[in-house]
Amino acid sequence: MEKEKLLMTPGPTMIPPRVLEVMRRQIIHHRTKEFEAIFDGLEEDLRFVFQTKNPVLVLASSGTGAMESAVVNLFSPGDKVLAVSIGNFGDRFAEIAAAYGLRVQKLAVKWGEAVNIADVRKILDEDANNEIKAVLVTHNETSTGVTNDIEAIGKLTKDTERLLVVDAISSLGGLELKMDEWGLDVVVTGSQKALMAPPGLAYVGISDKGWKAVENSKLPKFYWDYKKYKKGLMKAGENPPYTPAITIMTAQAEALKMIKEEGLENVYARHKKLALATQAGIRALGLELLPEQEVSSYIITAVKAPEGIDIAKVIKTLNLKYDIMITGGQKDLKGKIFRIGHCGYTDGLDLIKTFAALEYALSEAGSRVEMGAAVGAVQKALR
């Protein structure tokens, strides 16, 4: 029997039927009034989700492309940045900066922990000559299931010349983020996670301070040139600088309408409720979270694998036998953890189904499981 695969991963995530229906329509041309209306609405709704008054740029790109675009548009060769890394994607931001000849001071945090704000403050306070031009940081680290306190970091840079550049690829649209109010200078994200659209689009919000850095940047750029994208915003009477990902843009426009209809606060509350229910199910299985609960993500839950159990086999069983995809650990955490995503178009029934299958898969792998305990805990937490 062929079944639809349930993606309980950090991304890509499930696409709402309403969005899929929009994607079925015949493609339109991007040099038309019809597309102009879609693009204008998309950009306006992105500002709403970013919580910013400034334009949001739309790139045909992965999230990593958006991270690279931020580096080449904000800095010049030899500039110094502080890269805060709490996992695989924090490391990636540091690697991108180094690849473009920036001097990278890396604040590496043990995987499974959030950054200590005092450590960031200390480094910035000791930078007496203001050599550090920016702080690069991940809001929500999917490799470890940890969320950083971006609002607190924003207070350290808001009234300074330093930039705060935030990777919000997995968090935007699922976790509270107030770009203007928190003093975030550049926020990058992608279409395929909490924003409920297919992979292929990336978005960049830029503050007034960020645009000043763009004007002074000397790193080479062509496709990523933010000034071209800003000029290409339809409201300025121009067109996108290159052929846009039209079908994905129409899908994203519809998904953002759904987010606005639900209301941002309700969206955030739903993600929190699903995360807490996931944690309850994990505890009922007798397993432990990788991070402490107070920094555990509301987007994805990272769980220590039970001792003596081949967690890769459990993940494979869930996928092939029960048509549910979760993910394992990355790099040093490979084989040591598994991760359950619960963001975007996900609800309580998806979670209940996942834990019912997880109980079976763990039992089949040799783990002692009280059938129904985790499912019951999830159901109770969802009430």
Contact 314, 338 (CB under 8 A): yes
337, containing H or E segment: strand 337-341
Question: How many helices (H) and strands (E) would you count in the chain?
Answer: 14, 14
Q: Is 339 annotated as a binding residue?
A: yes
| Bond into 12 cis (ω within 30) | yes
Closest to 288 (Cα-Cα) out of 312, 306, 273, 309: 306
User: Helix 348-364 to helix 311-320 angle, to the nearest 10 degrees?
Assistant: 120
Measured CA to CA in angstroms, residue 363 lies from 207, 277, 304, 314 at distances of 51, 21, 16, 9
Closest to 64 (Cα-Cα) out of 192, 182, 246: 192
Contact 104, 83 (CB under 8 A): yes
Neighbours of 183 (CB within 10 A): 20
Residues in CB range of 254: below 8 A, 6 or more apart = 18, 19, 22
d(CA 208, CA 221): 20
Q: State the burial class of residue 340 (Cβ atoms within 10 Å of its Cβ: 0-12, 13-18, 19+).
A: buried
- Beta strand 80-85 pairing with 132-138: parallel
d(CA 203, CA 229): 11
Contact 288, 294 (CB under 8 A): no
Structure tokens at 215: 């004007």
What residues form the annotated binding site for substrate?
339
What residues form the annotated binding site?
339
